[in-house]
Each structure stands twice: as C-alpha cells, then as structure tokens.
A and B are shown apart, each in its own frame.
Chain A
Amino acid sequence: MSVELLSRIQFAMTISFHYVFPPLSIGLGMLMFFFELIYVRTNKVLYYNLARFWSKIFAVIFGMGVATGVVMEFQFGTNWATYSRYIGDVMGSVLAAEGLLAFMVEAGFLSIVLLGWNRVSKKFHLFSTFLVWLGSMFSALWIVIVNSWQQTPAGYHIVQRADGTFRAEVLDYVKMIFNPSSMDRFLHVILSSLLCGLFLVISIHAYYIFKKKFVKSSLLAIKVASISGLVLIILQVVSGHHSALIVAEHQPEKLASFEGHFDSNKPGNLYLLGWVNQDEKVTTGLYIPKFLSFMISADPNMKVKGLNDYPEEDLPPVNVVFQTYHTMVALGMAMLGVLGLLVFSFKRRWLLKNRWFQLVCCGSVLMPILAVQLGWFSAEIGRQPWIVYHLMRTKDGISTNLTTYDLWFSIIGFGVIYIFLTGLFVFTIRRQVMVGIKKYK
C-alpha cells in the first residue's frame, strides 16, 4: 500500500474514533445543564442526583475525547505536511482560536463541574456546567469552520512564494469564517451531537427501567431527553434539507453522488434504497421520480447536473457516498420514529409496560452515533479526490518524506491503543451504570 493510502486510512481511523466522543459530550453537556437548572429552580433533589450521575459518565467520555483529539491536530503536521503548508495561513488561525477561545474554557471549568460539587455555590456550579457545554459547542464551531473551508473555500487568494510554491492566504476573514457552507453545517453537526447525548441518556435509563431499577428518576430523565429530542430531530430534518441545498449549489458533483445521478439532461430522482454501478454509470433501486429536482428547486422537471459532466478522475467513489448518505437519512427517520413514540406514549405508559420497546430504546444510542459517522463519511468521501475542494488533491497534500514503515508503525500503534481504549471505555461506562444513581442529597 502507498503512503497516501496508509495516511488516509490512518486519518479515517483516528478521526472516526475521535468523532464518537465529542458529539456525546456536547449532548450530555446540555442535559447535565438542564438537570442542574431544574434542580436550582425547583430544588428537587432527584434532578441533582441525575446531574451528578451523568457528570461521571461525562467525565469518562470527555477524557476519551481529549485523549484522542490531541492526535488530530498533530496529524496535519505529521502526515499532511504539504497540505499544512498550503492552508496554514487560512486555517491555522481558526485552529488557534479553537484552542484559545473554546477548548480552554471547556477544559478549564470541567474540573469545577466534576470535582467542585461541594466547593462552590450551586449557582456557580450551574454556571460552570453551562460554560463547559458552551465551550464544547464553540469548539465544534471552529472545527466545523475549518472543515467547511475545505469543502467550500472562500475569502482567500492564492499566492506564489519565494521558493516557487503556492499557498492560500486570507483575504477576508469574515468571508473565510462564514464561507458558504460553514453555518449550515455547524447547525447540522450541533443538532446531531445533541441528539447523540440525548439518546445515550434515553438508552441507559431505558436499561434501568428494563431492570426495574431507579424507575422514578429514569422516567423523569427520559421525559426531559425525549421532549427536547423530538424538537431537535424536527429541526434536524429542516437543517439537513438546507445543508443539501448548499451542497447542490456549491458542490454539485457531491449532490449527484448522494443520489447516484448521472445524466445531466434529466431531472433528479430521490432514492430510498439503491445501488450505484459507477463503471456502467447506472443507479438501480427504489426511488421517487423527479423528487430530487423538486426538493432543490420546487420544480420537478428541473434538470440536475449529473456525474457524466465530470471527468472520471474528479469523482469520488460514488456508491460509497450514496450508501453512507442514504443510511444516515434512514437512521434520522428511525430516530424521529422512536422519539415520536416515546413522547406520545407518556400518557399510556408504554415504556413501563412494553419490554420490547424498552429494549429498542436501550439500543437506540447506536442510531445517532452511526448516523453521525456516516454523515461525516458522505461529506468527506463526497469531496474526494480533493483535500481542498477544487484547489488541492488529496494525493498532493501528503508528507513527502514518510515511508510505509513509518505509517505501519503509527497505524498499528493507534490500532492497538484504540482497541484497548474501546475495551476500557465499555468497562468504565458499565461500571458507572452498575453503580447507578446514588442519593447525594
């Protein structure tokens, strides 16, 4: 295997593993804040105990996020040196801002949230929880901006340097930060992250109900999580649609890959299921005719630019993009279903009576986690072969001094460590769940 392929495998591996944890902690951060807020407003100790219980699981997840996140920043330098030289001027400042303005607030106040329960007033503790949650969202904001600039570059110009190489330099900071896709994608990422945390809470409390432990507080927690979840998932459907419009406008070949649309002279179909044969340029499956055209333009007969318009070497692996995208959408619909059922069954107490429903809720956290990963895959693979869209190819961004031995060393090392971490993570979470919700007050 080549250095390029190995570097890509390594990046995909380390970033996918990392990307399990920040979304969970962003979502949990919100719920911890909600629980604590309700406690401070109503003085009901049940909510205090819930907040403390979840803060411990939060600590484990946050720790994993930090430990695996440091790798991300250094990998740009170790494995993608040419890319770093090319974009450093534009994206470095955004990464620096993430550290200085967001991550520091988050990590700085975390110790007060975790270890300061009896050391600060309850209002100050609530404020610290809020800052940690806010900090984690700001972190996500800066990171999504960095990534979005790779998708839809703006506010830059290309400059030739003294040694003859080229690089992108910032021309307009506002345009760079608010590039065409950053705000839509940020909203989409945040909503999905919040859903990850909410579903984790639903899952574990559904498990408690299944085991007939902590039933009263579990019902309360699920109520808070599923009502906020239903609101968020409806917003997410709207946000997803809007993000797709942005893709249609700025990355038309990516949109065509999402739906396996080849022929530019035809309106686009919207597939529910399907399979793309990229060699023969056909997509087969179950679809709603002309609905893609309708979705992006309100005109079912509008012709959608297709993949045939692009040279073969400028296209991503279309079927992968198609499948990851469609599975993400399907998972989103499934989440909508589960949350809807939960909210509308409060009165009839299904959750207490129906064992099957309890089990479904129990495993439901896998849906948002998988959806987040697949959404990320379709966004990132859909941009290929470009590392910076229409500016730099992925193969031109690698470090040119590395050998495959270097890469095997790091890939095997990360692999072993991540397998170990996964085991440890499951073990630790399981232990916390077994300890359960204690009565602190």
Chain B
Amino acid sequence: MDIQTVYFLLIGAIISAYAILDGYDLGVGAIYPFLKDDKQRSIAIEAIAPFWDGNEVWIVIAGGGLIAGFPDVYASVFSGFYVPVILLLFCLIFRAISIENRGHASSANSVLFWDIAFSVSSILIAFIFGLLVGNLMVGVPLLSNGNFEGGLLALFRPYPVIVGVLTVVLLSIHGIIFLLIKVPKDMISRLKKIHHRMLIVFSILFALLGGITYKYIPSAFLNYYYSPVLFLVPLMLFLFLWLELYSVKRSHYNISLLHSSITICLVLMIFAASLYPNIVVSSIDIEYSLNIYNASSSLFTLKILLIITVLAIPSVFAYLITRKKVFSGRIESTHFYEKEDNSI
C-alpha cells in the first residue's frame, strides 16, 4: 500500500472519529423535537454537556489533516462549497453558544429560543455534511484550475439532498442510543420507539440510495467489481443495523452504541470505496478530478504527518477513557449546571 493510500485511510479514520463522537451530540440535537417536555430536554443537554466540546475538536483535526495531506482537495472543496461551508460555520458557532446558554437560561422564552437554536443548528450541520458527501459522490463541475463551475444551486441536487437527510437520520439513531445510556429509566420506552422507527426510515432510504446510485452513477461501483470483497461492507451494514436493533431490544445499550458506531464507519467506508482513489470527481472532464496522488502533499510531509499521528494516539485514548470514566452513569436529576445562578 502506498503512503497516499495510508493517509487517505487515516483521514477517513479521523472523519469517522468525528462522525462517531460529535455524531451522538448532533444526533441528540436532531431528535430534540421528539422529546416530551422541558425536563427531558434539560436532561438531554446535560447528557452531552461534558462531551460535546471535546468531540468538536475532531472537526478541527480533520480540517488540519486535510490541508496537510491533500491541500488541493481542501482548497477546492471549501472554496467550491463556499455558501454551504459558511452556513456550516454559522451553525457551529450558534450550536456551541446555544448549548452553553441553554444550561443557564432562566426564562421560559430564552429556554425555548436556545432549544430551537440548538436543534436547528444540529440538524443543519448533519445535513450539510451529508450534502457535501453526496455532491462528491455525484461529481462536481470541477475545472482544471481547481475551481467549481456553476453556483449554489448546482449543489442542491436530489441525490445530495437525499444523502443529507440520510445523514441526519443516521446520526439521530446514534444520538438516541447515547441518550438511552444516559437518561433516567422513565424516558427509555419512548426513545426506544423512536429508535425503532428511525431504523426503518434509515434502511429504506439507504436501499433507495443504493438503487439510485446503481442506476445513475455506475462508476461508483467500479472498485466493487475489481475487488468483490467490498460488497461485504454494505452487507455488514445491514447485519449491524439488525444487531443494533436486537441489542436495544435486550437493553444492552453500551453494546448498541458500539453497533451504531460501527454502522457509521461502514457507511463512510461505502462512500470512500466508491470514490477511491479519487476524492473530488470532476463532472466536466474526468482528467480534472483530484485524486490521492495529484492532490497530495509531498511524500516527506505525509511521512511526518503519520509520525505525528502515531505520537498522538496514546494521548487520544487516554483522554477518551478518562473522560468516559469520570462522567459515567445515568443522569437522575439535573445537577451539572448550578441552578441558583438563575435567580439573577
């Protein structure tokens, strides 16, 4: 395996880590409207309070990793998707602020305001990520100079929009399972019901998307024909969806979280396997596409990056495990935020 492929896989791993970690708190935001009352929403916010900012670090790492390893992809994608990316940034700012302020809000109106801000921004973030991935799947009007041709509307095509919705549903499922681990027992049966329905919606959407891809983007299956073993990935996806359903039914929520994390990885792997070795496919001329070879940094830099990553891995696990240990257990009453502040 060449070093560009290794680095491609590494970026994939970082994006997976982001999707799994920030995924559950984004998912909590996405299913927020389904929660019954103010108390349930307070508990949901408290469940993610110790984790969300640490999770968001991963998007910064993914961005840094991308500019370091594939600077041309970084430059073309973020300037090409200018408006959606700026919207994404607005949402990331708003979401961070709304989580902090929701915990301290005093009047019912401000609680409602921050609730809406939190939920809408979470859904939009998940949707925009899906939209970007969807566009990469269909191919974008990439010119030889690395610019996209055509404006914003070119990005809101049916296929990417479906991928956007799929992402919201996928992360919702993940978020529900995280809540199942954290919330008091009386919230569980309702969440389980929502989880069940979301899984069905996801399976239908995913099968639909597979069909559309097969019909309209045949090139996405090239790698699968070269190495048919890849067909195992979508099969495993359905296997893990089923396992997840089963473990939720048996109330083994920690195992369900593992299942849904693997599901997210598998979905990303399906996309990656369809694109590789390309990253940004040009719909104008295939020659203009950015792949892991013509868009990568020098081999020397890639090697240094791999060394930095290996150095960082122990500390990553140390902090993930410590954090999980310190903040384990169900939330029985709302106690993280000090409520006496509200008198002011």
Contact = CB atoms under 8 A, between A and B. Distances in A.
Interface of A: 59-60, 63-64, 66-71, 73-74, 76-79, 81-82, 84-85, 87-93, 95-101, 103-105, 107-112, 115-116, 119-120, 159, 162-163, 167, 169-170, 173, 399-402, 406, 409-410, 413-414, 417, 421, 424, 428, 431-432, 434-435
Contacts of A85: 71-72, 75, 146
B344 A67 contact: no
Question: Which 9 A-B residue pairings sit nearest by Cβ, starting from the closest?
Answer: A88-B71, A77-B78, A92-B68, A108-B319, A99-B61, A81-B75, A96-B64, A401-B147, A399-B79
Contacts of A63: 53, 96-97, 100
Contacts of B308: 93, 96-97, 100-101
Given A103-B61, A104-B316, 10 more contacts: A67-B93, A88-B74, A92-B71, A95-B64, A99-B57, A108-B323, A110-B54, A112-B326, A400-B147, A431-B344
B57 A107 contact: yes
Interface in B39-85: 49-51, 53-54, 56-57, 59-61, 63-69, 71-72, 74-80, 82-83, 85
Contacts of B78: 74, 76-78, 81
B298 A115 contact: no
B72 A88 contact: yes
Contact of A107 (B53, B97, B145, B297): B53
Contacts of B63: 73-74, 77, 95, 99
Given A59-B100, A88-B74, A108-B57, A169 B79 contact: no
A116 B88 CA distance: 31
* Interface range, B side: 35 or more
Contacts of B76: 81
26 contacts: A64-B97, A74-B63, A76-B67, A77-B63, A79-B79, A81-B76, A81-B78, A85-B75, A87-B71, A89-B71, A92-B74, A95-B68, A96-B68, A100-B64, A101-B315, A104-B312, A104-B316, A108-B319, A111-B51, A169-B300, A399-B79, A399-B147, A401-B148, A402-B79, A413-B90, A428-B101
Interface centre among A70, A88, A101, A421 (most CB of B within 10 A): A88
Contacts of A60: 100
B90 A417 contact: yes
A38 B69 CA distance: 45
Contacts of A399: 75, 79, 82, 147
A15 to B, nearest CB: 14
Interface of B: 49-51, 53-54, 56-57, 59-61, 63-69, 71-72, 74-80, 82-83, 85-86, 88-90, 92-94, 96-97, 100-101, 104, 144-148, 294, 297-298, 300-301, 304-305, 308-309, 311-312, 315-316, 319-320, 322-323, 326-327, 336, 340-341, 344
Nearest to A403: B151
Contact of B74 (A66, A77, A116, A173): A77
Contacts of A173: 304
A136 to B, nearest CB: 13
Given A74-B89, A85-B72, A169-B301, A99 B96 contact: no
B344 A170 contact: no
B295 to A, nearest CB: 9
Given A66-B96, A84-B74, A97-B308, A115 B68 contact: no
A115 B50 contact: yes
Contacts of A87: 71
Contacts of B67: 73, 76-77, 84, 88, 91-92, 95-96
Contacts of A73: 60, 63-64, 67
B178 to A, nearest CB: 15
A70 B89 contact: yes
A326 to B, nearest CB: 34
A101 B312 contact: yes
A216 to B, nearest CB: 22
A92 B83 contact: no
Given A107-B53, A400-B147, A169 B60 contact: no
A67 B92 contact: yes
Contact of A435 (B57, B145, B298, B341): B341
Contacts of B327: 111, 115-116, 119
Nearest to A401: B147
B61 A104 contact: yes
A96 B315 contact: no
B61 A92 contact: no
Nearest to A118: B335
A428 B104 contact: yes
A29 to B, nearest CB: 15
Contact of A78 (B85, B92, B100): B85
A170 B60 CA distance: 22
Contacts of B60: 69-70, 73, 99, 103
Contacts of A400: 145, 147
A356 to B, nearest CB: 29
A66 B92 CA distance: 10
A417 B79 contact: no
Contacts of A71: 89, 93
Contacts of B61: 96, 99-100, 103-104
B57 A104 contact: yes
A76 B78 CA distance: 9
Given A66-B53, A88-B297, A428-B104, A101 B311 contact: yes
Contacts of B319: 104-105, 108-109
Contacts of A170: 298, 300-301, 304
Contact of B301 (A89, A104, A112, A119): A89
A24 to B, nearest CB: 16
A409 B83 CA distance: 8
A214 B276 CA distance: 63
B301 A92 contact: yes
A67 B64 contact: no
Nearest to B74: A77
B87 to A, nearest CB: 8
Nearest to B311: A101
Contacts of A92: 64-69, 71, 74, 297, 301
Contacts of B297: 88-89, 92-93, 169
B144 A163 contact: yes
A115 B326 CA distance: 10
A25 to B, nearest CB: 13
Given A88-B72, A170-B301, A103 B104 contact: no
A67 B146 CA distance: 29
B326 A88 contact: no
Contacts of A69: 60
A93 B326 CA distance: 32
